[in-house]
Each structure stands twice: as C-alpha cells, then as structure tokens.
Amino acid sequence: MADTSRPAAVAGAVPADATAAELAPAARFLPSLAAVYRSQLSRARVARMPLMFVAAFQSIGIMIMMRGVVSAGNSEASRDVVAGSAVLVLAFVALNLLAQYFGKLRAGGGLDFYATLPVPPAAVVLGAAGAYASFTVPGTIATAAVGCGLYGLAWSHLWILLAVIPLAGAALSGLGAIFGLLAPKPELATLLGQLGMSAALLLGVLPASHFPPVIAWARDLLPSTYGVEAFARTFTSHPDWPAVLLDLAVCAAVGAVTLTLSTLAYRRAARER
C-alpha cells in the first residue's frame, strides 16, 4: 500500500528554505573601460594601416597643395596650415569614422549586445572613442613633422602634441559618438561625420584672419579649433604659454561635455532598441 503520509512532490517546486541567488555585482568603471578599449582596439586592428595611411596621406596632401600658395617661414598662414592639417587627422578618425561606427552599431543591433553586459554606458563610449583616437597618434605626429620640414617651422615644441592629441581627440570623439548615436539612420551618421570633418578642414587649415567675422564666430564653435590654436602658437620663438594652456583647457572642457552627452545619447539609443 502506498505511503500517503507525505504530500507528493510537485515538479519544479522550490523548497521553503531555499533563498534567491544574489546577482553578481556590476563591473567597476575602470576595468570595464579597459576591457572595452582592448576589445575595440583588437577589432579595428585589421584596419589600422589603412586608417593611418588615409588620414595622414590626405592631410599631407593638403599641406603640399597649400604650399603652392603659402610661402615657407614662420608666418601665421604657414603655422595654421601645419597645425590645422595635423589636427585634421584627429577629425578624420575620431569624428568621422567614429560617427560611422556608432551609426552602424545602432542600426545593426550592436547596442543590444552591450546593453546585456554589466558595464557602465560611459565605459562603452569612452572605450570605443579611445580605441579610435589611438589610431590618430602616428598620423598626427607624421603630418606635423612633414609640415615643419615643408614650411620651415621649428621642431622644438612638437611635444605639445602629447597634450593636443588626447584633449582635442576627446572633444572630437565625443562629437562623433553623438552624431552616430543620435542619427536615426547610419547614412545620416556618415553624412554628419563627413560634414564635421569638412568643417575641421575648411575652418582649421586656413588662417583665422582671412575669414569674415561671421565665419570666424562659427570657427570658434568648432572643438578642433582650440587644438589647432594651441599647436600653432608653439611655432613662434616665444610661445604664449598661458594662451596655449587656455586653448587646451577649452579642449578638455568641451571633451568632457561631449563625452557626457554621448553617454546620455548611448542610454537613449539603448532604450529605444
């Protein structure tokens, strides 16, 4: 005879003394940032040489073309051409290509993958921006070195690029991420990135004194302008270091604002998926 003193076990029933498993703690910001940075760097490594070559080649080509109308020597025009061409490498990669990357990531469902990971949104944006900005270092230095030789400018203060590249790169990377994350279609993100790079070309390479007041005001709104100004000021025999530091501080402030806004844009785009 069957024992009916105990209730039959119900399939899938949870024992009364069982406790719910605790969720794993969220990943910390710095380790998450490092992981995303390494991941993005390895994914883009196959395109490293084309990126460096194209970005540097077009900037060096612009300097060679401008050499036909700008004489060599330590003049305002030659300083702006060399500094603007060097910073243009940053705009090509950190602004244009990053806008395309985030535009494709949003359209292709890549944000869903990152949304499932326990990493802060800021780590995703900063990691991708840092990886793309890393590719600008060789091209920017090479462009500046060639420009100094082509226009007869001093090499003594090229070390200022160690500050210009990360600060101007941060400002342009944040702007590129905003374009890619807010654009409803990847084609529009590509268009915005191209327009931003064109603005950096037209307003950064040509001397500021040659522009009418309206265009000069628009130039002041472009983040890369302050990186160009900081670099161009160091070609003089006695650089105005307070002005250089002020330009770099503006780049840092704009970078902080644009990267913060790009993080908010990432949250919004992830919620819309």
Q: Is the pLDDT of residue 211 over 60?
A: yes
DSSP letter for each residue of 191-252: HHHHHHHHHHHHHHHS-GGGS-HHHHHHHHT-HHHHHHHHHHHTTSSS--HHHHHHHHHHHH
Domain boundaries along the sequence of the chain:
29-272
pLDDT score for 83: 93
Lowest mean per-residue pLDDT among 2-16, 133-147, 207-221: 2-16
Average pLDDT over residues 215-237: 89
Q: How far apart are CA 49 and CA 156, in angstroms?
A: 28
DSSP 8-class letter at 109: T
Pair 62, 201: CB distance under 8 Å: yes
Average pLDDT over residues 67-82: 84
Average pLDDT over residues 213-232: 88
Q: How far apart are CA 260 and CA 171, in angstroms?
A: 11
pLDDT score for 114: 76
The model's confidence at residue 238, banded by pLDDT at 50, 70 and 90, is confident
Q: Is the pLDDT of residue 85 over 80?
A: yes
Q: Is the pLDDT of residue 25 over 60?
A: no
Choice between 118 and 51, residue whose per-residue pLDDT is larger: 118
Average pLDDT over residues 7-18: 45
Q: Cβ of 13: how many Cβ atoms within 10 Å?
A: 8
Pair 95, 258: CB distance under 8 Å: no
Mean pLDDT, all residues of the chain: 82
